[in-house]
Structure 1
């Protein structure tokens, strides 16, 4: 018998994209405040089963906020897993029950950088690492900015945020220099430049989001 459940002894007949990867069983390994880890047994094309460990996430939104001079608003924020500060877009988790992604984006833009926007559209949807997590982010383009002021008091993380505006081309240079590595920021900045150059068209702000994570949010409703 093969030691690897994904490498059976008998040759596997190719199913050419027609196999149904049915979940045979599922169990929770860990459930926390912003994510959960579950282990599933999945039916494989060769007739066997394979264990799939999946991190469930709430999902998030991020905002490429461009002012009238085509400068983008970035924040410098400490990220504990990488143990350093990263340049990122204003962003936040989809952690308010019943709140649409667009309204989450509006709220986070106001809470993190004290801005509102008149024009909203969808730039890209990003699957963070689909090999092991359902985490996904929707990145919006926001234009027609106005100051609304930062709320008081700020939270623990917000107290350390640095907010700065960069020329969009300079921010894209930072992407290619490895100075911006956050996935929604990388994809959002490149998409925004493509839109401004007329190379791409954004979607409507309420466009369908088929890969929005739902499993973790459903746990709180049980």
Structure 2
């Protein structure tokens, strides 16, 4: 179907469209330790539809870039995929009312023992739109320094491995399919593209985040 037939202008900027199908029933069918499974009944295209999905608090990831264009990566065990994968420092937004930027600053300190003076929004993505409402915001952190406090790490974080990797090498690893973590994949590619544009695409660190479920405006 052409853009004209679908009601969109071919010259319109490419952008997702907010849409809120009317929900007649919503319930938690599984309450987990970290996230839940929710079942919604909603109306769409004249049909009553039932869908179950992961109900997630959302997360932040941090691409910490030093003055040599190196990225701080951590290697951590991820049980669902049975892999110790290379990642950006990241964490859940599971503290009620916490601003995503504050959460990102906390996670960078806790997972990488770093603080930063310069913060920007680098990218955002939904991890699995057909089965989860999880959204992740990736921050670019620069002006790095060692955090004043070293945090004790337990469980999967107890044996975190840290490595500084040139940004271009991160992209090489992505394109060679040697790394699979989505925040790293998207963050590295976004950073190289943003750098090529003189960082003009970066967003303000405190930019609104309407795609996060806690900020949904159901009147849209």
Establish whether TM, by shorter chain, passes 0.5: yes
2:190 corresponding residue in structure 1: 191
1:37 corresponding residue in structure 2: 37
Residue 148 to residue 48, structure 1, CA distance change in 2 (3 Å) = closer
Residue 112 to residue 50, structure 1, CA distance change in 2 (3 Å) = same
Whole-angstrom CA distance in 1 between matches of 2:156 and 2:56: 20
2:78 corresponding residue in structure 1: 79
The Cα of 1:103 is off from its aligned counterpart by: 0.8
Whole-angstrom CA distance in 2 between matches of 1:44 and 1:96: 33
1:209 corresponding residue in structure 2: 209
Matches within 5 A, 1:87-106: 87-106=86-105
Could you tell me the TM-score, scaled by structure 1's length?
Answer: 0.84
Whole-angstrom CA distance in 2 between matches of 1:182 and 1:96: 24
1:129 corresponding residue in structure 2: 128
Matches within 5 A, 1:1-222: 21-45=21-45, 47-148=46-147, 151-198=150-197, 200-214=200-214
SS at match of 2:154: coil
Q: Supply the RMSD in Å over aligned alpha carbons.
A: 2.0
Whole-angstrom CA distance in 2 between matches of 1:44 and 1:33: 32
Whole-angstrom CA distance in 2 between matches of 1:116 and 1:152: 13
The Cα of 1:154 is off from its aligned counterpart by: 2.1
Residue 48 to residue 152, structure 1, CA distance change in 2 (3 Å) = closer
Q: Is the 8 A contact 1:87 1:179 kept in 2?
A: no
The Cα of 1:150 is off from its aligned counterpart by: 5.8
The Cα of 1:20 is off from its aligned counterpart by: 6.4
Range with greater deviation from structure 2 (96-105 or 114-123): 96-105
Deviations 1:126-184 (A, max 9, x none): 11111111001000000111112662432222211000000000001111111221111
Whole-angstrom CA distance in 2 between matches of 1:104 and 1:20: 28
Whole-angstrom CA distance in 2 between matches of 1:120 and 1:39: 37
Could you tell me the TM-score, scaled by structure 2's length?
Answer: 0.84
- What is the aligned residue count? 199
Runs of 4 or more, structure 1, over 6 Å off, are none
Whole-angstrom CA distance in 2 between matches of 1:150 and 1:189: 28
The Cα of 1:79 is off from its aligned counterpart by: 0.4
1:218 corresponding residue in structure 2: none
Deviations 1:169-219 (A, max 9, x none): 00011111112211111111111111222265200000110111339xxxx
Whole-angstrom CA distance in 1 between matches of 2:115 and 2:193: 23
Q: Is the 8 A contact 2:110 2:151 kept in 1?
A: no
